Amino acid sequence: MAPPFPLPAPMRRALHLARQAQAAGEVPIGAVVTRDGVIIGEGENRNRRDRDPTAHAEIVALRAAATWLDDFRLTGCDLWVTLEPCPMCAGAIAHARIARLYYAAADPKGGAIEQGPRLFTQPQCLHRPDVYAGLAEAEASALLRDFFAARR
Amino acid sequence: MAPPFPLPAPMRRALHLARQAQAAGEVPIGAVVTRDGVIIGEGENRNRRDRDPTAHAEIVALRAAATWLDDFRLTGCDLWVTLEPCPMCAGAIAHARIARLYYAAADPKGGAIEQGPRLFTQPQCLHRPDVYAGLAEAEASALLRDFFAARR
């Protein structure tokens, strides 16, 4: 079934990065940072390859964008990711001052945006991006489902 | 007033790293990872120097230890940090499978262990370290208080 509107290019790129991660034996998650619609940072899950417990797609993309901007605040930038961010990544998104968060599939087991600690609704949270969920949800979910089914 | 027992060496080192961060114009927070009592990774806050929104002391120390171990899981390792970890760092600590977390000062504004989202008590949390708070609390708090007072 064709989607009701064309998938925005950054989310298409994030899905591509997720597939690349999968091909490398990593959990298939991809992320992209844009400013004014232009990609300025991207990342895919690299925990195993980089031996890095923090190397989720979002963290890799945020660090790349910050290097590109030469600033530790990504004010006015958007993050596109194929899965609902975990507490670590949600915290990083707030620290980075991301303006808009777009994510594809919800993550009932590890997500921290619309379930679990719902970090952006905590009174402590100093910065809350606008959140848009569900873009390319079916495609991102299928990637993860197939990956975990193949490992069982 | 002398403390009731000698401060463990890893926390003394974390305080030293916090002071180094302060001298470099960063928020004075330091962290150390140990395995069997030996330091295998350390970090200080480097957000500004590295232009990295994720470069909290804990993240830097966890990544260094993972590189040293050549493994993205730090099973059986301990983390020592001068301030209660934020949601980003608490999430990273869980991902890394840290066995014991020692922190000095509580952080009512940004802490995620004993306040706010209390991440390790969330049913979603897949790994909970043992937590020991309050070692060198006065010293770590004074460092932060002086730092923020000087910036006002």
pLDDT tens over chain B, length 152 residues: 555 678 999 999 999 999 999 999 999 999 999 999 999 999 999 999 999 999 999 999 999 999 999 999 999 999 999 999 999 999 999 999 999 999 999 999 999 999 999 999 999 999 999 999 999 999 999 999 999 898 87
A125 annotated as a binding-site residue: no
Strands (E), A4-151: 30-35, 38-44, 78-83, 100-105, 130-133
A51/B66 touch (CB, cutoff 8 Å), yes or no: yes
Q: Which of A37, A31, A38, A28 has its CA nearest to residue A14? A: A31
Q: What is the mean pLDDT of residues A119-137?
A: 95
Q: How far is B43 from chain A (nearest CA, A)?
A: 14
Q: Which helix (H) or strand (E) holds A106?
A: none
The pTM (predicted TM-score) of the whole model is: 0.95
Q: Which among A33, A59, A88 is the top mutation candidate for probing chain B, defined by the most B β-carbons within 10 Å of its own β-carbon?
A: A88
Say what the pLDDT of residue B2 is: 57
- Cβ atoms of B45 and B21 closer than 8 Å: yes
A117/B115 touch (CB, cutoff 8 Å), yes or no: no
Contacts of A26 (CB under 8 A, 6+ apart): A44, A45, A46, A47, A48, A49
Return d(Cα B58, Cα B90) in angstroms, integer.
Answer: 9
> Could you tell me if A121 lies within 8 Å of chain B, comparing CB atoms?
no
Q: Which residues of A are catalytic?
A: 58
Say what the pLDDT of residue B114 is: 97
A52/B59 touch (CB, cutoff 8 Å), yes or no: no
Half-sphere exposure of B4 (CA within 13 A, CB side): 3
B53/A69 touch (CB, cutoff 8 Å), yes or no: no
> Could you tell me if A76 lies within 8 Å of chain B, comparing CB atoms?
no
Say what the pLDDT of residue A67 is: 98
B63/A71 touch (CB, cutoff 8 Å), yes or no: no
B48/A115 touch (CB, cutoff 8 Å), yes or no: no
Q: How far is A145 from chain B (nearest CA, A)?
A: 19
Catalytic residue among B26, B42, B44, B58: B58
> Could you tell me if A68 lies within 8 Å of chain B, comparing CB atoms?
no
Say what the pLDDT of residue B4 is: 65
Q: DSSP of B127-140, one letter per residue?
A: ---EEEE-TTHHHH
Say what the pLDDT of residue B3 is: 59
Q: How far is B18 from chain A (nearest CA, A)?
A: 19
* Strand ranges across the sheet with B100-105: B38-44, B30-35, B78-83, B100-105, B130-133
Say what the pLDDT of residue A5 is: 74
ipTM of predicted assembly, 2 dp: 0.95
Query: Nearest chain B Cα to A120, which residue?
Result: B117
A86 annotated as a binding-site residue: yes
